[in-house]
């Protein structure tokens, strides 16, 4: 990336409505040579720039081998994301990225992997799940725990069913409020840990979702004997520059855009849940 502030043009090649307020934009660079040379790691994000409206950080959810497409799953919550929701196939926008540090895939090789996510916090973990499942032999047992507030909030239901059928893979779902067709348990995502057999010394944990949920999960994992250095989490903060210059995403001495969004737990432990950070 030559100038980190200069967006490159991409085109929407497909738009998928995932739920009433969540959609996936499948993008391709309008310059084929840029598309061919674009590389990213699971857990990294792009700044999506809608001309004349604004720019937002959004995780990349496609697998790095899906070179023909670049997927971003977006929840329409405010000004820019609601405008992105109106885009149709053929629309053009800018992207800057890939940005930030992704998941610790080198450390996870040969280890069991536990992925715990809450709400749309799933987006940063989807690319790492796809990465592991495509390279199944390189990793140990894979456990995916997903919690949502309401069972209707779960997107990618079919995908969870498909993931659960993969070798050496366990998928457990929880919702605080459930409907009759719910296929998981009722309760918080942390309750799912009761049904998981963790080999504490060889499990790498990857967490994303609301901070209170991550804090509660970490407390439980530490009590279960998981060493703090084996816990990684993806953080979210309001962002502007995305490259460590403006300070908008700062937590203590760290910039979430540049030093994260994926952090090793001991690095952020003193800052988690502290008012003002």
Residues of this chain that interact with ligand FES (CB under 6 A) are 239-242, 244-249, 255, 257
Between 40 and 255, CB nearer to ligand FES: 255
Q: Does 172 bind ligand FAD (CB under 6 A)?
A: no
Q: Cβ distance 184 to 210 under 8 Å? A: no
Q: Does 248 bind ligand FAD (CB under 6 A)?
A: no
Distance CA 128, CA 31 (A): 27
Sequence-ordered list of residues with C-beta below 8 angstroms from that of 253, at least 6 positions apart, any chain: none
As measured in angstroms, the least distance from the Cβ of 274 to ligand FAD is 17
Query: b/e per residue, 242-262, with b = 16+ CB within 10 A?
Result: bbbeeeebbbeebbbbbbbbb
Find which of ligand FAD, ligand FES, none residue 175 binds, CB within 5 to 8 Å per kind: none
Q: Does 46 bind ligand FAD (CB under 6 A)?
A: no
Residue choice 25, 27, 50, 74 for contact with ligand FAD (CB under 6 A): 74
Q: Does 232 bind ligand FAD (CB under 6 A)?
A: no
Q: Does 71 bind ligand FAD (CB under 6 A)?
A: no
As measured in angstroms, the least distance from the Cβ of 258 to ligand FAD is 11
Sequence-ordered list of residues with C-beta below 8 angstroms from that of 89, at least 6 positions apart, any chain: 12, 13, 14, 15
Distance CA 103, CA 112 (A): 14
Region of 32-40, 69-77, 136-144, 173-181 interacting with ligand FAD (CB under 6 A): 69-77
Distance CA 107, CA 124 (A): 18
3-state secondary structure of 140: coil
Residues lying near ligand FAD in the complex (CB under 6 A): 45, 54, 56-59, 73-75, 77-81, 120, 123, 236-239, 261
């Amino acid at each position: 990336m030559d100038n980190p502030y200069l967006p490159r043009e991409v085109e929407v090649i497909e738009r998928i409505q995932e739920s009433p307020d969540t959609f996936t934009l499948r993008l391709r660079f309008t310059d084929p040579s840029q598309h061919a040379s674009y590389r990213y790691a699971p857990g990294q994000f792009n700044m999506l720039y809608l001309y004349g409206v604004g720019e937002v950080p959004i995780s990349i959810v496609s697998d790095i081998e899906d070179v023909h497409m670049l997927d971003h799953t977006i929840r329409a919550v405010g000004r820019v994301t609601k405008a992105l929701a109106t885009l149709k196939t053929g629309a053009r926008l800018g992207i800057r990225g890939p940005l930030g540090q992704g998941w610790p895939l080198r450390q996870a090789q040969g280890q069991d992997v536990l992925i715990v996510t809450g709400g749309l916090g799933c987006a940063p973990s989807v690319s790492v799940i796809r990465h592991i499942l495509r390279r199944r032999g390189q990793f140990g047992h894979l456990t995916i725990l997903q919690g949502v507030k309401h069972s209707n909030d779960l997107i990618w239901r079919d995908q969870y069913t498909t993931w659960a059928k993969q070798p050496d893979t366990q998928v457990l779902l929880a919702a605080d409020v459930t409907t009759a067709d719910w296929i998981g348990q009722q309760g918080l995502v942390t309750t799912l840990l009761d049904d998981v057999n963790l080999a504490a010394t060889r499990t790498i944990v990857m967490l994303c979702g609301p901070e209170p949920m991550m804090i509660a999960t970490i407390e439980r994992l530490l009590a279960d004997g998981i060493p703090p250095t084996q816990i990684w989490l993806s953080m979210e903060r309001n962002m502007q520059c995305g490259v460590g210059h403006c300070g908008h995403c700062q937590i203590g001495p760290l910039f979430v855009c540049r030093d994260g969004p994926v952090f090793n737990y001991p690095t952020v432990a003193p800052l988690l849940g502290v008012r003002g950070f």
